[in-house]
Structures are given as C-alpha cells and as structure tokens.
C-alpha cells in the first residue's frame, strides 16, 4: 500500500482498523492494539496501544500483547492482522474449540487457501517461551506455532482472512462490501 499506515487506510469510508474492531470486539472482553510509532493515531478507537519491546516482526507484537494481557488478568490473546476486515463472527469460539486439542492451548485460523497463523489464540502462559524464541533471533510465526503444537481452526469462507496488501486488494474488498449491501 505504498508504505502508508494500513490501519488507517479507508475501506468503505472507514479505516481498516474500524472494520477489524467491528468483527473482533463482540467476541472478546477487551481489545489491545499492538502498534509501534505514535499511539495517538489510535486515540479515537478507545483501545490501549502496546508497542513492541524490541521490534522483530509480528511475534514481537504478540509478546507485548501477552505481557499486557497478563497484567489485566487475561488468560489468552487473540491476534489478527489489521488488514483483514472480513474476520468471521465465530473466530474466537472456533479458535478456543481448536485449542482444546492442542498440547499448549495454541490455535490459529486455516481455510481452503491455507493457514493464517497471524490470526491466532495465544495462551498468556506462552509468553516466556515466546520471549526465549525471540531472544534466540527467531521470528517466524509458523516455526513458533509448529514447535508448540498449535492446532488449526478450520473456517469455510476463504474471504474471511483476505489480506488487503495492494490497491487492487482494496478495490476488490470495496466490491465485496458493495455486493453485500
């Protein structure tokens, strides 16, 4: 998207983050925004913003969220990219159900197009293992999820996890929304 802040890119007249929040907020107790840079840009969304202690990619954001969530008494964190505006309405229940069969309670989304490990349920208790993983210079989400026996939560609609990475993706999402109206 040309280096712009994807969270604030407009889809149907609203920032992408607003679409994600609409899908996620009914499914969770609280929302944290994991973002580096000036947190004031998210002030209008009513969610605390946590920054990475040491930016190393998406897992750094997950670790910061796990750490913050633990101080709030949470047992789990659900992560999702900010550029996935069509998340399923049953995302969290399905992740929780899949996690019941995982040795460490970790689960991620999957559909007919493949795995979506950035959309996942993370037990807060995995924070020390994730910190050690990052301290070793590791940062690949799929490697961490594989090493910790993550379960797949299968979803039937492949559009649910569409990532909007290009102006063409954004235009296709606009068309999808117009078709749903």
CATH number, domain of 82, equals: 3.90.550.10
Strand (E) or helix (H) holding 60: helix 58-71
- What's the domain count of the chain? 1
The verdict on residue 156 lying in a domain is: yes
CA neighbor of 87 nearest in space, from 18, 7, 24, 176: 24
Q: What is the DSSP string of 25-58?
A: GGGSS---EE--S-GGGGGGGT--EE--SS--SH
The verdict on residue 101 lying in a domain is: yes
Q: Which residues of the chain have pLDDT under 50?
A: 181
pTM of the model: 0.94
The verdict on residue 163 lying in a domain is: yes
The verdict on residue 1 lying in a domain is: no
pLDDT in tens, 14-64: 999 999 999 999 999 999 999 999 999 999 999 999 999 888 889 999 999
């Amino acid at each position: 998207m040309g280096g712009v802040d994807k969270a604030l890119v407009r889809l149907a007249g609203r920032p992408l983050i607003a679409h994600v929040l609409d899908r996620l907020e009914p499914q969770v107790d609280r929302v944290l925004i994991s973002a580096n840079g000036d947190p004031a840009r998210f002030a209008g969304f009513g969610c605390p913003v946590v920054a990475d202690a040491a930016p190393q990619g998406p897992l750094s954001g997950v670790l910061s969220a796990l750490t913050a969530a633990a101080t709030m008494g949470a047992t789990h964190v659900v992560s999702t990219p900010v550029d996935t505006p069509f998340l399923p309405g049953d995302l969290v229940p399905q992740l929780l159900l899949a996690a019941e069969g995982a040795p460490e309670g970790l689960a991620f989304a999957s559909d007919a197009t493949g795995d979506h490990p950035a959309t996942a349920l993370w037990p807060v208790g995995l924070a020390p293992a994730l910190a050690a993983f990052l301290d070793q210079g590791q940062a690949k989400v799929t490697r961490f999820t594989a090493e910790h026996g993550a379960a797949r939560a299968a979803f039937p609609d492949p559009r649910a996890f569409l990532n909007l990475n290009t102006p063409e993706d954004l235009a296709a999402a606009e068309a999808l929304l117009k078709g749903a109206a």
